[in-house]
Chain A
């Protein structure tokens, strides 16, 4: 059985512990051997995306030290996984174990579909759900076809969710528009970021969604922040939280 290292992004660890727990439970439910290496902190994305690559380097090196020994690394975040897979090269190229790490780090849904080969999801979720396809998972990990590219449509998150009993996945006018989070962008470009978030929410509203589901808590944190401020009843949930009570096989 493969040994799986669980990577819980820094802010999920501190602010959204339930999402970490749901991820763990989903993976354990598959009978996988999961370990959470205590030494982990952050993938380094905030520093790297701000241009301060040198401040991210030690974190990339640390990540390699901690996770190189696992067969697979799984994280409930498309954007952190993209960091490892597409951006660690600049600091770790040629280091022992890096290629293995890069090729074996997965976002949760991607892992369930591509590696664990889950084909059946047995459970209930009788809600109207809008799926927010976070950009990094979408266009950097190719977890789904993006609307710009003329390729056969696919969606690795949807194939899991749509099997839940009672779930109603609603149609958005702009299926993969950015929510405006963008890491430090959310602060540096506060006004544009919030307008993007409001528009994202309105799209879910017009589609009749009760829940905005996603696989990146950072986007959901931004949307939740707007929803709560405006006292809107819509809820945000990480896909792991939705899948937690289902049986996957």
Chain B
């Protein structure tokens, strides 16, 4: 699999577009700052959220069982899935049992992670993602490029072109209002024709056995109030102990995600529609393993707000697809390689370790420290390319010996200015592709120090 730098190359090469992407996300980051600043107790909220998550994760099994008990008492069918394949099979069985052929979905990164759509489609079920951005990328047969803003990589002109082909809108139309109306009409048909609705879960409440879904378009509500069957897919880490915990998380989530005080629709589901059925599928898919890793456990606290992506200077300039994993950006660069270090081993290095993600994260995950720790982890497990290991070994050996360090420095400073430019700035010198090397001084600091009066 291609590394991050390689996958990012075409995105970065289109500089105007990369700038536009950067500005769009920065705009969201600024909106977030403004909203966060209106909450005087913001930092306290973050600490509390982080503590609640840490506590919950420390007793995860207990809270999940409590949830199952209470949900079952509410008339909800609870299913457990060890991995994506089990999750998909459970969903398919529920649909088949009821002869469902048309499913509407509201946004769920978990089903992306499990590759549910292609699986269901292969089994003859028509799946419609109903979040506008998700529907757009679904039509383009692409995965989302951001967990909150799935089509952020597309300009309105791109969408106009897509809708012209798919929905028969006027050619060249790019007015967002016109395009949204067209999408609405199209989605309305799908909602009306659906036999079941599937949603993600933002929070599952142990003490009440209900789930909470947050959207801005109301599509989760449409998808669950028309058809009689509601399937909610949730990762094990979505559990919170009590309803009052929502007071913390809901204030943090919308502000961090899009800079809104609260999501437009925050819907609580505590049982099936009259005469209908509600199913919750609780999925592990590698999460228990992460829970066992002391250094990375906190990454499970993630509430998927996307703030770390919006703020990440690398994500903003390389786009979601450069990560090659369902969840991109800083948090994805921790979750991806946990799942498959061979495939996603370059992601922890796709960071300047600036730490902006850590400071923006509403649940205080120490993202940049986990990225750094993961680099060590990859090295220990032998996933670093030998060239890197070798050059770092050499560097360590040289720097550990003063004479070697001084000799190396002197050689560099004396020889570099003598070499022909073509030799120094060849393709083997990535630093010099767009940058000059620093000017080489004749004397080092310690040489100069000898002449410095005391």
- For B350, the closest partner residue in chain A by CB is A189
Bound Cα distance from A139 to B378, whole angstroms: 25
- A224 located at the interface, meaning its Cβ lies under 8 Å from any Cβ of chain B in the complex: yes
Q: How far is the CA of A192 from the CA of B401 in the complex (A)?
A: 34
A201 CB to closest chain B CB (Å) equals 11
Indicate if B166 sits at the interface (CB-CB under 8 A): no
| Residue of B356, B384, B435, B446 touching A51 (CB-CB under 8 A) | B384
Known contacts A150-B39, A196-B313; decide if A190 and B399 are in contact (CB<8 Å).
no
B contact patch SS = helix
| Interface SS of chain A | helix
Stretch binding the partner chain, chosen from B70-78, B174-182, B436-444 = B436-444
B441 touches A17 (CB 8 A): yes
Q: Which residue of B lies closest to A176 (CB)?
A: B356
Number of chain A interface residues as a range:
35 or more
Q: Within the complex, which residue of B350, B353, B431 is in contact with A135, where a contact is CB–CB below 8 Å? A: B353
Whether A139 and B355, one on each chain, are in contact in the complex, defined by CB atoms closer than 8 angstroms, is yes
Q: Does A195 lie within 8 Å of B435, measured CB to CB? A: no
**Is A115 an interface position by the 8 A CB rule?**
no
Instruction: Select from chain A the residue with minimum beta-carbon distance to B36.
Output: A150
Task: Assess whether B437 is in contact with A196, with CB atoms less than 8 Å apart.
Answer: no
- State which residues 1-33 of B face A: CB under 8 Å: 4-5, 8-9, 12-13, 15, 18-19, 22, 26, 33
In the complex the two chains form, is A178's CB within 8 Å of B36's CB? no
Q: Per-residue CB proximity of B205-249 to A under 8 Å, as 1/0? A: 000000000000000000000000000000000000000000000
- How many A-B pairs have beta carbons closer than 8 Å: the answer is 215
Please give the distance in Å from A89's CB to the nearest CB on chain B.
Answer: 12
What distance in Å separates the Cβ of A196 from its nearest Cβ neighbour in chain B?
A: 5
Chain B residues with CB under 8 Å of A185's CB are 349, 351-353
Q: Output the nearest chain B residue to A23 by Cβ-Cβ distance.
A: B445
Which A residues are CB-close (under 8 A) to B389? 52
Binds A, one of B115-123, B268-276, B324-332, B390-398: B390-398
Distance between Cα atoms of A9 and B176 in the complex (Å): 53
A31 CB to closest chain B CB (Å) equals 13
Whether A193 touches B355, Cβ cut-off 8 Å, given contacts A36-B446, A229-B435, is no
Q: Report the minimal beta-carbon distance from B322 to chain A, rounded to whole angstroms.
A: 9
Interface string of B415-454 (1 = CB under 8 A from A): 0000000000000001101111110110111111100100
Those of B147-198 within 8 Å (CB) of chain A: none
Q: What are 26 A-B pairs at a CB distance below 8 A?
A: A8-B445, A13-B445, A13-B446, A14-B441, A44-B396, A48-B376, A51-B376, A55-B393, A140-B355, A148-B359, A150-B39, A150-B40, A151-B43, A176-B356, A178-B313, A182-B353, A185-B352, A188-B5, A189-B4, A189-B350, A195-B18, A196-B352, A224-B436, A224-B438, A225-B437, A229-B436
List A residues at the B interface (Cβ < 8 Å): 8, 10, 12-18, 20-21, 24, 36, 38-42, 44, 46-53, 55-56, 58-59, 62, 87, 135-136, 138-140, 146-151, 174, 176-178, 180-197, 199, 221-222, 224-226, 228-229
- B residues in contact (CB < 8 Å) with A: 4-5, 8-9, 12-13, 15, 18-19, 22, 26, 33, 36-37, 39-40, 42-43, 311, 313-314, 317-318, 348-356, 358-360, 368, 372, 375-379, 384, 388-389, 392-393, 395-397, 399-402, 405, 409, 412-413, 430-431, 433-438, 440-441, 443-449, 452
